[in-house]
Amino acid sequence: VAPAALGDAADYLVEQAIAIIAYYNGDIVTVEIPAAVELTVTDTEPGIQGDRVSGAKKAATLETGKVVQVPLHINIGDRLRVDTRTGEYISRV
């Protein structure tokens, strides 16, 4: 399935991910994915240890290319849980 046909769901799907796709007359009508997914950070600025309370955020690129705002202590290679409904960081896994 082409990523364009999946819409925003393509930002959260990786190989072997589970999605429910409804077709009508050969066209995709809806795509249902889990409410939260676990993805790996592929690019971000270096993490700052000890800065977990300030609430400051930085951009992090995930393995699907999606960019989310994360706390400053997140590093490249960390696995994150992301809310697929809002696109927001939930926690580090």
Each residue's pLDDT, cut to its tens digit, for the chain (93 residues) gives 788 888 899 999 998 999 999 999 988 999 999 999 999 999 999 876 665 666 789 999 999 999 999 998 899 999 999 999 999 999 999
Q: Are 86 and 43 in contact (CB under 8 A)?
A: no
pTM as predicted: 0.84
Distance CA 81, CA 92 (A): 6
